[in-house]
Homo-oligomer: A and B are copies of this chain.
């Protein structure tokens, strides 16, 4: 620990540049993500945060994508573990909802989770938890294995999808465009869309997520693998 030779708060109160480690790098990246969003988690920005040049980071991380993946896994550590009481279905829904909300609050991370192939320890923990709950519900092994993928994929995609809907977001317009396109569908050429524009757009995200999770569970439970 070389953080020794400093007189009490010398130059500008900076806490004596700690040695660079992978953990420190990831921690800095998480901090920047929480305060400024994932789009600021760039090699250059994090390097600056750590008082070095971008080239230095490549000692600990293969590329920028790997850094984003590490940030994601860090966050996955905050998924709430299954509660003690309730049916397996309720507990399963709770875990997935907790996961979804984590991402719902971090739009850009949700989008990156969809595109990255997570493989960190916290992601593996999450898979184990979901498999255990499905086993508890008596879901056959093969269906459980394939089902976990579908469940996580849906929760992630939903978070990424609704991420743009928040007040201050850049891409609110995209939503508005789709909304009006559906609402203004011509009953002549697109009758079903016109008739269902209400339900297509209706429902708070939470209600839709909850319904989708239950529908997914029902499907997984009742559809044998080949």
Contact = CB atoms under 8 A, between A and B. Distances in A.
- Per DSSP, chain A at the interface is helix
A190 interface: yes
Interface in A206-226: 207-208, 210-212, 214-220, 222-223, 225-226
Given A117-B164, A117-B174, A118-B178, A128 B225 contact: no
A170 to B, nearest CB: 9
5 contacts: A115-B115, A135-B192, A146-B212, A154-B154, A215-B216
A154 B160 contact: no
A51 interface: no
Given A115-B114, A215-B147, A128 B193 contact: yes
A117 to B, nearest CB: 4
A27 interface: no
Nearest to A120: B181
A137 interface: no
Interface in A172-226: 174-175, 177-178, 181-182, 185, 190-193, 195-196, 198-200, 202-203, 207-208, 210-212, 214-220, 222-223, 225-226
Contacts of A21: none
A174 B208 CA distance: 31
A75 interface: no
A50 B128 CA distance: 52
A171 to B, nearest CB: 7
